[in-house]
Amino acid sequence: MNMSAPEALLVRYGELTLKGANRVDFENVLARNVRLACAPIAPVRLEREHARLLVFPEGRSEAIARRLTQVFGISSISPVWGAPCEPEAIVERARAVLEDALLSIPPGETRTFRVLSRRADKRFPLSSMELDRLVSERIVRDGQPLRIDLDHPELVLGIEVRETRAWIYARRDAGPGGLPVGTLGRAVCLLSGGIDSPVAAWMAMKRGCEVVFVTFHSPPYIGESAKQKVMELVRTLGRWQRSARLYVVPFAPVQEAVRDAGAEAYRTVVYRRMMHRIATRIAELERASALITGESLGQVASQTMENLACIEAAAGLPVLRPLLGFDKQETISRAESIGTYAISNVQEPDCCSLFLPRHPVLRGQVAVCEEIEARLDVGALVAQALAGAEPHNLGWTARGAKVRA
């Protein structure tokens, strides 16, 4: 009855199976991402078979299971115990796995239940249905808080019969879904300390995009703590990909120059055009093929269709706006669930607060922006910002052990 730790974690990946010819690439990237995500917790050995990944950790299987819920591309994770591919041995193991699972059912409550087996090895003497029935008959006893329900079971005792071994589980944790980070290229995210841009980056990562971060920092108008806050955001987001690189770009000279160029109403739009120019140059450096922003239509007065068009016109790359269809509350909920909200919500003076126009333009025109920029040395300002940019590598290694820049 004394159950040891699970032997392995069975990792399922959903969407990848649909990707035809690219599937092997996707699986390779996923396997690499899994290995890198687990490495700081415990060494793992991986086995791949039949659209499943088996992760064998050297201890700490619970921490590994939790960590895998942060690896995009995974649809679910089950801690599994192995048995020889032989009906009696499977029954014995299944009984122990079930008894362990029953520990978590509160007294007085029952769970609907079924056994569900899959048979990858057709040489196994029983069909899946026969195995279901055999195991169920042998392990379900009177007095257990279980009610058989084949259609809507709350508790599933799963069995996967493979060539060499059968794997048995009673728990299935949801993975984050999405696609493995790195399978859909790289992009540069313009990160402020706010709530939106970290969520935008996360959503791009979820769809397989590896994200490099850029933040604009304006000393001496703003303190070190604002930069620390963005670094903390990047560390948190960095858990969802292999590592996270942040460029901290000095922006005060640009703001001063734009302020001096007049046309107060256009300041915000022109700042953002400058940010996009700088981010585009960083994207070239990082071999990234798009920019990501936390912009959403109409969320603040400046985020009108016209203003977004003015800003995008200055970017040399496509601008992805994963939050475009989100209401503020939807963004906040997502930020809470990924752990960035608490960091974003700490009040720091924002980058542009001193330089904000009193009446920002609502329907900006590209021609006007260009007219204002003609009074600036755009090339020199961009070059100066790039020269002052500091790169920081802020990957997540193990909880507590963060890689320092």
Residues at the site binding another protein, with contacts judged by CB under 8 A: 2-3, 5, 41, 59-63, 66, 103-107, 398-402
* Of residues 352, 333, 360, the one with CA closest to residue 266: 360
Pick the closer one to another protein by CB: 325 or 400: 400
Minimum CB separation from another protein for residue 338, in Å?
14
* Of residues 100, 102, 139, 101, the one with CA closest to residue 2: 100
Do residues 230 and 214 lie in contact, with contact meaning Cβ atoms separated by under 8 Å?
no
Pick the closer one to another protein by CB: 107 or 325: 107
Pick the closer one to another protein by CB: 40 or 349: 40
User: How far apart are alpha carbons 402 and 405 in whole angstroms?
Assistant: 9
Phi, psi of 254 (to 5 degrees): -65, -45
Do residues 165 and 261 lie in contact, with contact meaning Cβ atoms separated by under 8 Å?
no
Minimum CB separation from another protein for residue 398, in Å?
5
Do residues 166 and 83 lie in contact, with contact meaning Cβ atoms separated by under 8 Å?
yes
Pick the closer one to another protein by CB: 6 or 175: 6
Minimum CB separation from another protein for residue 8, in Å?
16
DSSP 285: H
Q: Where are the alpha helices (DSSP H) in 43-164?
A: 61-68, 87-102, 128-139
Tell me the two tokens of residue 34.
Answer: 């899994």
Pick the closer one to another protein by CB: 3 or 150: 3
Q: Where are the alpha helices (DSSP H) in 140-296?
A: 196-206, 224-238, 252-260, 267-285
Minimum CB separation from another protein for residue 3, in Å?
8
Tell me the two tokens of residue 215.
Answer: 């933040």
Minimum CB separation from another protein for residue 147, in Å?
17
Pick the closer one to another protein by CB: 26 or 396: 396
Minimum CB separation from another protein for residue 109, in Å?
9
Do residues 148 and 140 lie in contact, with contact meaning Cβ atoms separated by under 8 Å?
yes
Pick the closer one to another protein by CB: 5 or 380: 5
Minimum CB separation from another protein for residue 59, in Å?
6
